């Protein structure tokens, strides 16, 4: 059994998928989030750093909607349109995650007009 998760402070899905899914009440799978403004559905800004911040804010909103935080995240995937932005991504990433760091994969990917997208898996702490 699984449950779809939506956030009022996150962008709406742009296709037939759930923004996040909780499975068996223990894991949260957050779909790749782009730099979309939740109010307008448009990409927030042309600069990589602004897009990266919006992406991490969108992931944060979905984690919160699933009653999770970045401390619960065990796996992150980062998709970069240009690996020249790797160091800037790491600086933004470090504002959201702390030790023990989640496992992470960073790959080059053509992701439309977006410069970055991020997905993750979090393990919920349930009593």
In sequence order, the β-bridge partners of residue 58 are: none
What CATH homologous superfamily does 2-123 map to? RutC-like (3.30.1330.40)
| Band of pLDDT at residue 5, cut at 50, 70 and 90 | confident
Kindly report, residue by residue over 103-114, the tens digit of the pLDDT: 999 999 988 889
Dist. CA 93–CA 69, nearest whole Å: 14
Q: Where are the domains of the chain?
A: 2-123
Tell which residue, 119, 12, 5, 15, has the closest CA to residue 64. 5
Question: pLDDT of 24-67, one tens digit each?
Answer: 778 999 999 999 999 999 998 889 999 999 999 999 999 999 99
Write out the two tokens for 33: 């989030």
| 90 Ramachandran zone, left/alpha/beta (phi>0; psi -120 to 50) | alpha
pTM for this structure? 0.87
User: What's the mean pLDDT when you consider all of the chain?
Assistant: 91
pLDDT at residue 104 in the model: 95
Q: Read off the pLDDT of residues 85-97 as tens digits, 9 standing for 90 and up.
A: 999 999 999 999 9
Is 96 within 8 Å of 70 (Cβ atoms)?
yes
């Amino acid at each position: 059994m699984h449950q779809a998760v939506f956030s009022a402070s996150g962008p709406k899905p742009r296709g037939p998928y759930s923004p996040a899914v909780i499975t068996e009440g223990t894991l949260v799978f957050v779909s790749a989030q782009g730099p979309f403004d939740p109010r307008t559905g448009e990409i927030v800004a042309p600069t990589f750093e602004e897009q990266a911040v919006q992406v991490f804010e969108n992931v944060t909103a979905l984690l919160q909607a699933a009653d999770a935080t970045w401390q619960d995240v065990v796996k992150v995937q980062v998709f970069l349109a240009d690996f020249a932005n790797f160091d800037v991504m790491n600086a933004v990433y470090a504002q959201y995650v702390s030790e023990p760091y989640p496992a992470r994969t960073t790959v080059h990917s053509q992701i439309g007009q977006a410069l970055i997208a991020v997905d993750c898996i979090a393990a919920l702490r349930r009593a």
